[in-house]
Amino acid sequence: MELLDRINELCKEKGISRRQMEKEAGLGTGSTSKWKGGFRPNQASMKKLSDFFGVSVAYLQGESDFRTEQEAIIQGWNKTIDTQVLADETKKYEKGQLIPVLGTVVAGIPLEAVEEILDWEEISVKLARTGEFFGLQIKGDSMSPRMIEGDVVIVRQQADADTGDIVIAKVNGDDACCKKLIKHEDGISLVSFNPNYEPMYFSNQEVLDKPVTIIGKVVELRGKF
């Protein structure tokens, strides 16, 4: 199977067009249309495709039927080792990677430079491939009853989000807060789950002037007892 066939197959699985994939993966518009008849794009483009789809370059180029190196290793082991050993190794790969749980988040400071790490949480390899993540410990009761003080949210770092998303935001340089984002034509609202807290509305100009900064999107809640 040629590169373009692999790309078409992966785009179909994601439910997106090649044109949309090119845009989201950071490739030139229409660039994949040239990849026919054994043509190979440069290494930078292959890396972008590999990262975007979460598969190996070897799989994209048709050199392997396994989507990841881990899958190839595990499938190979399946023929030579007993079931228990295979299960143990599979669990090791499924365990994923550790991310720091922070008490506060400062916009613009790389996570590796943050010293206030309260704990560590584990996320799956599949999730980890979709971006950079950190955990944040919930403080106060503004997001109760769904989120209570001490719970941890798993956050993907990003500077924007869609209306209805739960986000981590900073207002006027204050500590990061967890709120539901609602977008309006003339501004945004940061809304608490707890009805005792009024929504915080900011005009488009106030978003720029204060500023109001989106740090990330909450993708998972982990309750603590």
DSSP-based helix, strand, coil % in the chain, nearest 5: 30, 25, 40
CB-based burial label for 45 (10 Å; 0-12, 13-18, 19+): middle
CA distance 66 to 60: 10
Pair type for strands 133-137 and 97-102: parallel
State yes or no: is 179 an active-site residue. Answer: yes
Which of 50, 142, 192, 217 is labelled catalytic? Answer: 142
Which of 50, 56, 170, 179 is labelled catalytic? Answer: 179
> Which residues are designated catalytic?
142, 179
